Structure formats: C-alpha cells, structure tokens
C-alpha cells in the first residue's frame, strides 16, 4: 500500500477514545470525520446514559482553550545533543533529559511512550500570586481564529488571549497551563501507573477537581501532607500561622487494573505455612523514627552462622544489624527487643544483609499498598533536599532554592514499584534541579534494579538579580547558556559520579562477604547466598548511570504547505536550505512519532552507496540521490538479509523526484519478496 503523510506539522496526542467511538459508532461521524454528538445521543436510551444539564465539575475562563492546547499539533522538532550522547557512559543509556517546553515534549513522547510510564512525579510551579508562576504561551491566534477553533464568543476569546499573551498568574491561567499537560500525561501512564503531584495550598482545591476530571474521581488515592520545615516569618504579627507543609496528590490511572496489580497474589508474592505475605520495612519511618524518640526500639540484632537472629549478644556471630540514620540521627526498629525475640522466627525475613518484616494477607482487612501510615510525609523536609543538593555541588551553596528531597521521591517510587515489573520508567516533566533522576539512580543502586528516568526541563533563563550564585556558577564554571536546564544536567552528571563511587564501595563489601562465605564449611545455603551476591555485584557493575540529551527546536518557519498542491512546477518549501542537522532532527522526530523510543538508535543501512536508516521494521529514506540501482539493492537486501524485514519504507518527499517516488511505490507494491512481507510505501513531508 502506498500513501502520503503530512506528519511534521501534525504531531499530536493520539485520541484513543475517539478511535473507540469511530470503531463502535462509525455512523456518528460525518464525511469529514467529525463526531456528531447529537446523533450519538440519539443512539443511546435514557437508561444507558443520562445527559443531564446539571453536573458537578470545574469550569474556568480558558478551559476550552486548554483542551485546544492538548490536541493542537506540536510546533517543534526533536534534536539530539550528539556530543553528549556519544560519550561512552551515555551511548547505550536508556535515561533521558529533554530540554524544552514540557507541553511540546509530551506531545512528541505521546506515541513512542504511550502507556509505557509506570510513575509520574511532578512539582509544577505553584501559583503564589507573585513570582512563583507566570503563564505566557507563544501560540499566536487572532480573536477570530480562537472563536472558530473552540466555539466561543469574541469577548471570551479576547479575555483568554489577554492572559495567555500577557504574563498572568490568575487561577484561570494556572489551570489552563496545567490541564493539557495532565491530559497528555495520563496517556503516557501504564494502566497500573500512578501520578504524584506536589502542590501548596494556593491551588490544592482547584487541582483536586481538575485531577478528578482528568483521571476520574474514583482514581483518587490520597492527598498526603508533607512537612516542609521552617515556615517564613509572619508578615503582620507573630501570632499569624506559618506555612509548614505542602501536599502530594496521588492518583492512579486505572482503579481496576491497579488493584489487581497491588492486591492478592502480586502484592503478596511469597508464601509459607502461615499464608501469603509481602515484605515490608522493619525500620521505623515518620516523625518519631529516631532513637531519641523511642530509645527502647534501638538495639543491635546479631546474625548467627546458621542464619538465626537474636538481640542477645552471642559468643560468635557473622553480622550486626543496626537501623540506618534518619536525618543525621540514629534510627530505630518497629518492635521492642522482647517482641523481636518472640516473633522474629515467624514474622521477620533476613536475606543478603537486609532485614524486613512479613505482612500476611488478611481477607477481612484492606490490604491496599497505600496504608494510612504512609499518607503523611513528615520525614522529608526541604532542608534535607537542600543539604543533599549542596553536597553534590560543594563548595558552592545556594545554587538552587528548595530542591525536593531525594528521599521523598525514593519513598514515592517504592510505594508503587514491584520487583515483578519488568520495565519501569519514571517521568518528571517539571524536572527542576533533577531530584527525580538522582532518586532513580540511588534506588537502582540500593535495590539492584534497572529503572529508567525521563526528565523534561524548560531552558528558563536564570535571573542574576534573583539568584546571582546560580547565574555565576553556570556562566563562569560550566561556561554554558545560563539556564535552569544546565543546572539539571550538571546535577545528573554529579549524581552519576557519586553513585558510581558508592557502587564501587558496595561491590568491594560484597566481594569480601563472598570470600567470608566461601570459608564457611557448615553453611547450608552458602551457594545460594554467594549466587545472590554475585548477581548483585553484576547489577551494580552494569547500572545505567548515563543519560541522553535531546531538545526541542522550532519547525522551519516556511514549512507550511498543502501536499495536494505539489507538482513538478510548484515548490512551496526550499529544501536546499536544510542542513545535515536539520535532516537528523526530522528523522528523530519522525521515528518518535512512529513509536520508536528516543533512546533506541536507528541502524545505518548502506543501499549501494545510499545511506538509509532502519529500526522497528521501518526504513527511512531521507536523502537526495536515490536511484534505480539503490532500489535494486534495497530489494535484494530484503530477500537476502535475515535481519532486514521492513514493513514500511518511508521517503522524505522533498528529496525525491516524482518519477523516483512512483518507481519506489510501484516496486514496493508489485515485488514478490522471498519473505512474503507486505511492505507499505509512505511519502512523508
């Protein structure tokens, strides 16, 4: 089959709901493909659905415009940072850092990462009414164009354009900013995926109603308060309340699928004589999780040679277990030593240096993974986030204000992450300082996992008047454009280096442990423990500590045409202006549109001197000079190369003469290749 596509100017989020309607109610679409709502209503009885004129919801000036932004095509291409991406630590990385407006980036990701993301965490700009948030988009509509596009009157169209084209921090502007981003984010989540959103009290009420609309009220899990630390001084009197917390919204993509994944066998994957159980932390967390708060719950646990655990100091032992530090203080266990001595044989699991408690499935209780105790995030203060950030950038301090704590993101990931998950992608499209990327690196190191991150950060200029330290650091030490993005990138580089050093220390410790075990003669499960330690060492050595960088770049200004107007005498775009970098950007954009992940490089294919690109059974012909000999070489390669099985051949129309396109099209249609592959030929602009 041969067809022509105008893709470059029409990259938008796929509307799966509309596709479902078109499949099941084709007669409710007119000849132009527009959905006829009234006709659809008439096909439904009153019992099936009640189209009441009264309903509960959220409306604001600009809501229809926000919906337009969600479905409006992207106005950019994707470009690779080839210098960064070619470095050995980044060349094969599955992690991503993308520079650009996150709405544009989300649209580009919508096909390749549709329902691929396990978790989204975002910390969007808070609408503080001052400098915390200003909304201004660069889409240029006239009042009349906006009227026609979203069906509103002239006065409302003008008011919408006023706050989108002039800096505004109104509630309406903030909601208009957030809606399309959340709408597309939902499309990227897996069915059992979860989104976490940090917010303060200025927009918490509006955001909950907005999230109910986008994700469904039934998919609300929790609104978790988070203790941020010391509040700002009262502005009027010492008696005024200080703001000491913000919030984290938790919504799931699909209630039924999420419950199936996090209840029953998959949540309680282990079994013994007492029943099915899961493994949970044995160290306390929360505001009283320190030795000072509960001194009787701080004690050493001794591991004997036969694997037995005890709190009473024996004459010989192979290891001592103590709680980890909590904000610089000694932590504590969840049980007193008397309870541990009584119950540890049945309710405690110790393996590879890690102690956990067994939580058994109880059919009469709510076994949800989100327990009440986990819905209060009071151990993750802003001070800890600032401290860990400053440690990476020593001796510099004050480069970034109030970065989110790494431990907060790690905690949220552990709430939804299961070792059964084969592919885990964590997305943060308000990346800020890059906390989410560092959290993923640390968790992979802690648990020997291979989760990936995708971070998106707009190249927001650093104001030297507001943050001279950051401005001077980026300009004088990094010697790059003075934007927040460069701080994000630098943090990931430093976090990667730190994690690599920590991994080396862990590997050294595990290798010593293996040698110790090899010297034990009477340890029954010695072989299994050594096997586990070797697997962990291998995982630490192979951990993905790199990341690839891409950015959005504007589509060429005059790349606007109607393909049906093209003929031998008409040229609406001067393709001779395109550079090699332009072609590469077009190729990256197209392959992502075709569902190929940004981290998956295309294979270069030599077709008798003509360079083509191949991946996911798609062959891209991007350059001029394709001849009949190149076509012959292509057909022979399809027959002879076992690994070369294209189902689509995509040609950049501007670089082919009409006769070449016809020849390609006819041969793809008529050639009986030996593999019996049906090959589509697509001319793309």
Structure tokens given for 346: 């049945």
Residues 35, 41, 44: CA angle, nearest 5 degrees: 125
CATH superfamily name and code, 66-263+375-511:
Vaccinia Virus protein VP39 (3.40.50.150)
At 233 the three-state DSSP class reads coil
The ranges of the chain with pLDDT < 70 are 31-32, 43-56, 129-132, 230-243, 256-267, 286-287, 327, 364-376, 417-420, 522-524, 560-572
Structure tokens given for 132: 């915390």
Which residue has 């630390």 as its token pair? 229
Tell me the pLDDT tens digit for each residue of 268-318: 778 888 888 888 889 987 667 889 888 999 999 999 988 899 999 998 888
Burial 89-109 (b: 16+ CB within 10 A, else e): ebeebbbbbbbbbbbbbbbbb
- Say how far apart CA 180 and CA 612 lie, in whole Å: 36
Phi, psi (deg, nearest 5) at residue 67: -65, -35
Q: DSSP E strands: which ranges in 521-639?
A: 548-554, 603-606, 611-615, 618-621
Structure tokens given for 519: 């010297």
pTM of the shown model: 0.81
Which residue has 């308000």 as its token pair? 430
Distant-in-sequence, close-in-space partners of 123: CB < 8 Å, separation ≥ 6: 197, 198, 404, 428, 430, 432
| CATH code 3.40.50.150 region(s) in the chain | 66-263+375-511
Q: How far is CA 502 from the centre of its chain?
A: 25
- Say how far apart CA 665 and CA 307 lie, in whole Å: 70
Question: Would you state the pLDDT for residue 131?
Answer: 59
Phi, psi (deg, nearest 5) at residue 683: -95, 125
Question: Would you state the pLDDT for residue 214?
Answer: 95
3-class SS letters over 475-496: HHHHCCCCEHHHHHHHHHHHHH
Question: Would you state the pLDDT for residue 232?
Answer: 47
Structure tokens given for 60: 């604001």
Beta bridge partners of 333: 283
Burial class (CB in 10 A: 0-12, 13-18, 19+), 251: buried
Tell me the pLDDT tens digit for each residue of 592-641: 999 999 999 999 999 999 999 999 999 999 999 999 999 999 999 999 99
Structure tokens given for 106: 């989300």
Tell me the pLDDT tens digit for each residue of 149-172: 888 899 999 999 998 888 888 899
Q: DSSP E strands: which ranges in 567-622?
A: 603-606, 611-615, 618-621
Question: Would you state the pLDDT for residue 286?
Answer: 65
Question: Would you state the pLDDT for residue 365?
Answer: 62
Among 366, 14, 400, 375, residue whose Cα is nearest residue 187:
14
At 396 the three-state DSSP class reads coil
Question: Would you state the pLDDT for residue 373?
Answer: 40
Tell me the pLDDT tens digit for each residue of 99-155: 999 999 999 999 999 999 999 999 999 887 665 688 888 888 899 999 888 888 999
Distant-in-sequence, close-in-space partners of 622: CB < 8 Å, separation ≥ 6: 583, 586, 587, 612, 613, 652, 655
Q: DSSP E strands: which ranges in 308-429?
A: 309-310, 319-321, 325-326, 329-330, 348-351, 354-360, 425-428
Phi, psi (deg, nearest 5) at residue 86: -85, -10
Burial 33-59 (b: 16+ CB within 10 A, else e): eeeeeeeeeeeeeeeeeeeeeeeeebe
- Say how far apart CA 559 and CA 574 lie, in whole Å: 9
Which residue has 């480069």 as its token pair? 399
Question: Would you state the pLDDT for residue 130?
Answer: 61
Question: Would you state the pLDDT for residue 388?
Answer: 92
DSSP 473: I
Beta bridge partners of 275: 272
Residues 576, 579, 582: CA angle, nearest 5 degrees: 115
Q: How far apart are the first and last CA of the chain?
A: 17
- The answer to whether the CB of 376 falls within 8 A of the CB of 223 is no
Question: Would you state the pLDDT for residue 327?
Answer: 67
Burial class (CB in 10 A: 0-12, 13-18, 19+), 465: exposed
């Amino acid at each position: 089959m041969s067809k022509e596509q105008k893709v470059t100017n029409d990259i938008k989020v796929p509307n799966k709901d509309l596709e479902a309607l078109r499949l099941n109610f084709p007669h409710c679409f007119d000849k132009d493909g527009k959905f006829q709502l009234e006709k659809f209503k008439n096909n439904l009885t009153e019992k099936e659905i009640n189209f009441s004129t009264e309903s509960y919801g959220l409306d604001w000036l600009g809501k229809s415009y926000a919906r337009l932004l969600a479905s409006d095509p992207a106005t950019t291409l994707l470009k690779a940072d080839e210098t960064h991406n070619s470095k050995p630590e980044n060349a094969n990385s599955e992690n991503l850092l993308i520079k650009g407006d996150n709405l544009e980036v989300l649209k580009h990701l919508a096909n390749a990462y549709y329902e691929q993301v396990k978790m989204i965490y975002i910390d969007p700009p808070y609408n503080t009414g001052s400098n915390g948030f200003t909304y201004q988009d660069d889409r240029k509509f006239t009042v009349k164009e906006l009227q026609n596009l979203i069906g509103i009157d002239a006065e409302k169209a003008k008011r919408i354009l006023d706050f989108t084209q002039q800096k505004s921090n109104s509630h309406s502007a903030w909601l208009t900013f957030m809606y399309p981003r959340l709408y597309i984010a939902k499309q990227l989540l897996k069915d059992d995926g979860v989104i976490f959103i940090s917010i303060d009290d200025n927009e918490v009420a509006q955001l909950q109603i907005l999230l109910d609309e986008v994700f469904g009220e039934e998919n609300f899990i929790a609104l978790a308060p988070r203790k941020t630390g010391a509040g700002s001084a009262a502005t009027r009197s010492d008696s005024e309340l200080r703001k000491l917390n913000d919030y984290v919204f938790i919504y799931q993509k699909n209630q039924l699928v999420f419950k199936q994944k996090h209840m029953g066998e998959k949540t309680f994957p282990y079994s013994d004589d007492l029943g099915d159980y899961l493994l949970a932390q044995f160290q306390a967390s929360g505001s009283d999780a320190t030795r000072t708060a509960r001194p009787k719950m701080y004690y050493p646990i001794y591991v004997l040679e036969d694997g037995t655990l005890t709190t009473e100091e024996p004459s010989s032992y192979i290891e001592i277990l103590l709680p980890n530090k909590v904000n610089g203080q000694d932590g504590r266990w969840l049980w007193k030593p008397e309870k541990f001595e009584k119950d540890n044989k049945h309710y405690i699991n110790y393996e590879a240096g890690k102690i956990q408690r067994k939580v058994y499935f109880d059919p009469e209780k709510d076994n949800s993974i989100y327990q009440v105790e986990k819905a209060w995030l009071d151990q993750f203060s802003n001070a800890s986030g600032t401290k860990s950030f400053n440690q990476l950038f020593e001796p510099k301090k004050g480069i970034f204000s109030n970065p989110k704590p790494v431990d907060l993101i790690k905690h949220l990931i552990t709430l939804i992450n299961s070792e059964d998950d084969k592919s885990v992608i964590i997305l943060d499209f308000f990346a800020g300082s890059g906390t989410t990327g560092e959290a993923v690196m640390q968790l992979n190191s802690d648990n020997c996992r291979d989760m990936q991150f995708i971070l998106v950060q707009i190249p927001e200029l650093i104001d030297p008047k507001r943050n001279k330290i950051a401005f001077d650091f980026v300009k004088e030490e990094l010697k790059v454009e003075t934007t927040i993005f460069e701080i994000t990138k630098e943090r990931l580089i430093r976090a990667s280096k730190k994690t690599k050093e920590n991994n080396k220390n862990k590997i050294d410790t595990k290798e010593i442990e293996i040698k110790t075990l090899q010297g034990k003669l009477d340890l029954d499960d010695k072989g299994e423990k050594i096997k586990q330690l070797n697997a962990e060492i291998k995982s630490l050595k192979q951990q993905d500590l790199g990341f690839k960088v891409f950015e959005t770049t504007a589509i060429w200004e005059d790349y606007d045409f109607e393909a049906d107007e093209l003929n031998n005498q008409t040229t609406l775009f001067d393709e001779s202006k395109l550079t090699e970098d332009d072609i590469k950007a077009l190729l990256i954009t197209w392959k992502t549109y075709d569902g190929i992940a940004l981290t998956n490089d295309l294979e270069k294919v030599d077709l008798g001197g003509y360079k083509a690109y191949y991946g996911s059974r798609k062959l891209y012909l991007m350059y001029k000079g394709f001849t009949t000999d190149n076509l012959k070489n292509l057909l022979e390669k399809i027959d002879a190369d076992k690994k070369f099985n294209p189902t689509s051949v995509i040609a950049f129309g501007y670089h082919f003469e009409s006769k070449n396109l016809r020849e390609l099209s006819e041969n793809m249609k008529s050639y009986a290749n030996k593999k019996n592959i049906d090959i589509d030929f697509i001319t793309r602009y």
